[in-house]
Amino acid sequence: MIMLRNPLRHGVLALALVLGAANLVGTPALRPTPAEAAPTVVPDDYQFALGFSNTQGANQWSYLQWDGVAYTPMVWEPTRDRWRGNCEFCVISRSGLHPDTNDAVIAWTAPRGGAVTVRGTMDHQTYIDPDITNVDGVRTFVRKRSGGTTSKVWPSADFQHLRPAFMAQHVFTTAVNAGDTLLFHANRAGTGLHDGLSWNPRISYDYEPKFTLDQAELVMNPADFDRIGERTALDASLSVVPNGSQFDFYHSSDFGRQVQKFRGDLARPAQVRVYADTTANRFRNPHGLDGQWWIASVYRTEEGHLLAFCHIENADPQTSGWWAGGLAYSIDNGEHFTLLGKTLAARKKAPDGSTDNIGGMPFVLKDGFFHVYFTEFGMPVVARAPVAEVIDAAKRGTVSPWTKYHGGAWNEPGMHGQATEVVAASPTNSYDSHAGAAYSTYLGKYLLTGGSGGQGQGIFLAFGDDPARFDTPSWLLSSNANSKATLQPYETIVGVDGSTNGVVGQQFYVYYGYFFRWPHDGVDLPKHMRWLYRQKVTLNAAGFDRNTVSLSTDASKKQGENGVRYQEYDGTAYTDMTWSDSDQRWHGTSAFSLLDSIGWHPDGNRDSVRVWTAPRAGTVRVGADLDGIRAGGGSGADGVRVKIVKNGLPVWPATGYAAVEPASTLPFEPVDMT
């Protein structure tokens, strides 16, 4: 446990907790297999995949079925390493569960009272063509049994519906008494075809999340896209503009040749198609501007006019570059938009003047400035301009200067200036800002959401104390599964009360397009990219105020999340490990070089290492749970060696390593350091 005291801003401290092999023999016991006794589990953090066993109740986990009236235990099938209910396909294994006539239910029993945070991703991993109508996915919900009372604790709706190949994450908090049980239900919905579900619930005591997540709701399906006149697929983030008791939604597609406007409420956007002809040219171009323009986000002025922040493609490489950002203006409630001019372009990088993509264009209004976020050379950056100047120029039919943030100042021109990324680069993830942004008056922080490609792709949510610097992103949705799409690029942040113009409170929706898989051709594209979801996010200030880091409860499958990296050390250099969804572990270069939320295992003459990076300066105290550092035992084991290093220098012990004998606990007194 790492405790921060007297925190200041911008400190840098890399603290490496290292476990090295003395002469380790045998296989690791980071988690039990059905044939093994369960290891001692850290008592504040319980993960289903790590605690799975062949014994009902071991590690607080049980394996049940529910027939709509009563819960009954499943039976262990040793030949298949799984639990099975009364129905043929009602099963639970370490990797997931499958309902049948009865629900498959993972149960966790609280060992003590307290507040718990419950996290998990429900992932329907089997790809099914959306046109197959007799495959209807699964439904999930979580109940709590306390004494003689059983009640649902998540979601706020009756259940989370996971359509074929869809996935959703839950984060919620609840209070438990000793002996209370949380019941994680998988229900077959209608049919039981292809209902396998990956679900690894995680329960952590006294852990404050940055936000909680309600169910993911489907708000537009392919039929809704047909209704609004969208012929192909979701091609940009939605722009949301209040209109009386309802909302106007704007969407651009087909290389800017189509603009859709439709009306509805936040739960059902596509009720009324406003533009009868979506192929009509909605843009007036008095300046003869080049390129194809998409409406990416819309601001309503005090006069009721609309200012559209636009993404531009196929522009002149010799002037702005092939990609650019610009502004358009409407004085007739969106019936037409006048193109005002280009405001943003990436720095030139090629002899012909061509530049990189300017993607995104969500905005935040704060302190009299528009802050616009966009992707430049693969990472989010930001530019700004005074609101009064922008609106005054728009009324005159033109644009005012914008400046990019670079090197600590707002002094680079919007057109071809340098820009500094606002989210730190990751070796394994790109952070795309075809996205949403807002300022939270509840937190006093800036919000940025977007899609991530590569290993662990999904939808991120980052927080910043100022508009040009965000922390390591948290995740609203992520999957390492090869069957999942590589990008969910179009997000929109909208307050739960419909508040827009880049400002929200404690609660908001994130709308996002979900791609069931990357289409193989244009014919295949529409049915896979015409699914729009929203998910309610509730911010939790306590998740930002806490000054304790637990390397157990804060453990993640993302490098750098919560300030922690998972590495191995060969005596010269530190290198990142790789996450595996199949066994919920970090893997090094050797077979048994491993890390998970419970413990370490070194191998191959390499130490296994957790690295914590301080988010700010101050004094920290490093302590150990369970009174010390425990080493496993077994035939041939000779213990391990441990040390703590800060910025390359020893912290504990003063030199070398401390030895931990087999099957013993080395007492550890807390260590203070700056």
Kind and range of the H or E element at 273? strand 272-273
Nearest-angstrom CA–CA distance, 595 and 116: 24
Q: Does 24 share its domain with 51?
A: no
Check whether 387 has a pLDDT greater than 90.
yes
Q: Are residues 106 and 80 in the same domain?
A: yes
Last residue of a domain, one of 206, 230, 246: 206
For Cα atoms 210, 215, 220, give the angle at the middle one, nearest 5 degrees.
Answer: 120
Q: Is 485 in contact with 525 (CB distance < 8 Å)?
A: no
Taking each continuous run of H as one helix and of E as one strand, the counts in the chain are 5, 56
Could you report the per-residue pLDDT of 323-333, keeping only the tens digit for each?
999 999 999 99
What tokens were used for 183?
A: 């019941």
Decide if pLDDT at 261 tops 50: yes
Span of 19-33, 194-208, 221-235, 260-274 with lowest mean pLDDT = 19-33
**Least confident window among 3-12, 141-150, 381-390, 563-572:** 3-12
The answer, yes or no, to whether residue 299 has pLDDT greater than 70, is yes
- Whether the pLDDT of residue 4 is over 60: the answer is no
> Which tokens go with 647?
């910025």
- Map residue 612 onto helix, strand or coil: strand
Per the DSSP assignment, residues forming a β-bridge with 108 are: 61, 182
Neighbour-count burial for 484-511, b at 16+ CB within 10 Å, e otherwise = bbebbbbbbbbbeebbbbbbbebbbbbb
Question: Residue 546 has what pLDDT?
Answer: 78
| Nearest in space to 93 (alpha carbons), one of 111, 74, 109 | 74
Q: Which pLDDT does position 351 carry in this prediction?
A: 77
The SS3 assignment for 179 reads coil
Strands 607-613 and 628-630: unpaired
Query: What range does the domain containing 482 cover?
Result: 218-545
Look at 11-20, 300-309, 647-656 and tell me which has the smallest mean pLDDT: 11-20
**Domain stops at, among 545, 574, 590:** 545
Average pLDDT over residues 309-338: 94
Q: Is residue 179 part of a domain?
A: yes
| Phi, psi dihedrals of residue 310, rounded to the nearest 5° | -120, 145
If asked whether residues 566 and 492 sit together in one domain, one would say no
Find the mean pLDDT for residues 16-36.
44
Q: Do residues 550 and 535 share a domain? A: no
Backbone angles phi, psi at 139, to 5 degrees: -120, 140
- CATH (domain of 85): 2.60.120
Taken in order 184, 189, 191, 197, the sign of the CA dihedral is: negative
* Predicted confidence (pLDDT) per residue in 197-233, tens digit: 999 999 999 999 999 999 999 999 989 999 999 988 8
Looking at the structure, tell me whether residues 192 and 222 fall in a common domain: no
Same domain, 349 and 364: yes
Count structural domains, the chain.
3
Does residue 106 contact residue 63 with C-beta atoms inside 8 Å? yes
The amino acid at residue 486 is T
What phi-psi label fits residue 506: left (phi over 0), alpha (psi between -120 and 50 degrees) or beta? alpha
Whether residues 506 and 561 fall in one domain: no
Distances, alpha carbon 155 to alpha carbons 100, 141, 151, 205, in Å = 21, 6, 11, 20
486 has pLDDT over 60: no
CB 496 within 8 A of CB 508: yes
| Pair 467, 370 in one domain | yes
- Helix or strand run (H / E) with residue 513: strand 507-513
Q: Are residues 323 and 375 in the same domain?
A: yes
How would you classify residue 540: left for phi > 0, otherwise alpha for psi between -120 and 50, otherwise beta? beta
Stated as kind and residue range, the H or E segment containing 118 is: strand 114-123
Is 140 or 12 the better-scoring residue by pLDDT? 140
- Site of tokens 């528009």: 370
CA distance 260 to 224: 12
Instruction: Answer yes or no: is pLDDT of 522 > 60.
Output: no
* Contact between 511 and 238 (Cβ < 8 Å): yes
Name the percent of the chain lying above pLDDT 70.
88
Mean pLDDT of 86-111: 96
- The token pair at 67 is 């027939």
Residue range 228-250, pLDDT digits in tens: 999 888 889 999 999 988 999 99
Q: Is the pLDDT of residue 579 over 90?
A: no
What one-character-per-residue DSSP string does 534-564 give? EEEEEE-THHHH--EE-TTTT--SSTTGGGE
Is the distance from CB of 640 to CB of 20 less than 8 angstroms? yes
Mean pLDDT of 642-649: 94
Is the bond preceding residue 155 a cis peptide, omega within 30 degrees?
yes
* Mean pLDDT, residues 463-492: 82
Domain boundary among 517, 545, 573: 545
